[in-house]
Amino acid sequence: MKKLLIFSLLLLGSRLAMAQCIPFENFSINPATFSAEDEITISFDFTGTGMAGEAELYIWTWANKGASGFSEKNGITNANPSVDWGNSPAIAKMTPVNGAPNKFTYKLTGTTLFELTPGGLKHFQFLVKTKNGSKQTCDSKVNAFDPLVFVPSMLRLFPARVGQNDVVSLYFHQDLATTIDEQRMEPVSVTVEVFDNTNTSAGQPLTLPVKNAGTKLWKAFFVPTRSYTPGAGKKFTRFTYKFNGTVRDANNQPVNVSTAAVEVTLADMK
């Protein structure tokens, strides 16, 4: 009986040890605000934690825990949670940052990760683990999805509230174009111009290449503070952007055309 009791205590102790989590909150999400339909990047730095030194790490995710009126849902990163804790699938594997030990990133889109519509997602959480689950962090804080209020528009940007350090994605929804030139345009670039608080251009306008991001959808991106430096005593307040391309005239010759310019206020630089 004594041996059985000792064995039971040892077994319980080993299970408790496996269940212990490593406290960790050193992560960032870019962009800081996002809807369930937006792709985000989570960046981790495990330096100085119990996860340091691991060459491979995996994310484990879930949505809507404790959210009234929403169904709780595991992410596809978890595969079958009842049997796969000890064997995370490849889709859950995080990307190591080259030349930066203990740093990893993971990209996700809420609707894809949880296989729910935007209206079915309130927030999400995650933890990080080794593939076999021998090590794990504690649960992250709750990360809320912005309510999705989408108004169809030919030109739009992400995130909707742009900050100076954000990676700003610029979109041209050509299927929503209303003029003949915009409908027929072959997009090739975006022109971006940043202005400071004296209403002066911060420098020469940028010409950014565009890429096809879907059917009749074109995209480019930039980071305001990586593209321009404000003058002494000045700060940026806004920028404008327009998409450029060519159309064919009656002689099948290319003619340069552009969309109307859109003005955007930098939310954290007013």
Sequential DSSP letters for 109-166: EHHHHHT--GGG--EEEEEEE-TTSSSBBPPPPPEEPBP------SEEEESSS--TTS
The partner residues of 219 in beta bridges, in order of sequence, read 171, 211
- pLDDT of 150 > 80? The answer is no
pLDDT of residue 148: 66
**DSSP H or E segment with residue 196:** strand 186-196
pLDDT of residue 179: 94
Mean pLDDT of 70-84: 89
Mean pLDDT of 241-255: 95
Q: Return phi, psi of residue 45, to 5°.
A: -135, 110
Q: Return phi, psi of residue 212, to 5°.
A: -75, 125
- pLDDT of 88 > 70? The answer is yes
pLDDT of residue 255: 96
* Between 37 and 57, the higher pLDDT residue: 57
- Provide the H-helix boundaries in the chain: 2-19, 110-114, 180-184, 224-227
Do residues 170 and 223 make contact, with C-beta atoms less than 8 angstroms apart? no
Is this structure's pTM higher than 0.75? no
Q: Return phi, psi of residue 9, to 5°.
A: -65, -40
Q: Which residues contact 11 (CB under 8 A, 6 or more apart)?
A: none
Residue 166's nearest CA partner among 26, 33, 38, 27 is: 33
Q: Token pair for residue 40?
A: 């985000």
Residue 137's nearest CA partner among 20, 4, 254, 11 is: 20
Q: What structural domains and CATH numbers belong to the chain?
A: 23-144 (2.60.40), 155-265 (2.60.40)
Q: How far apart are CA 235 and CA 101, in angstroms?
A: 35
pLDDT of residue 12: 37
pLDDT band at 252 (very low <50, low <70, confident <90, very high): very high
Mean pLDDT of the chain: 87
Q: Token pair for residue 34?
A: 């996002």
Instruction: State pLDDT tens for residues 46-66.
Output: 999 999 999 999 999 999 999
* Between 163 and 130, the higher pLDDT residue: 130
pLDDT of residue 74: 96
Helix, coil or strand: residue 17: helix
Q: How far apart are CA 190 and CA 263, in angstroms?
A: 13
80-84, 91-95, 139-143, 191-195, range with the lowest pLDDT? 80-84
Q: How far apart are CA 180 and CA 232, in angstroms?
A: 44
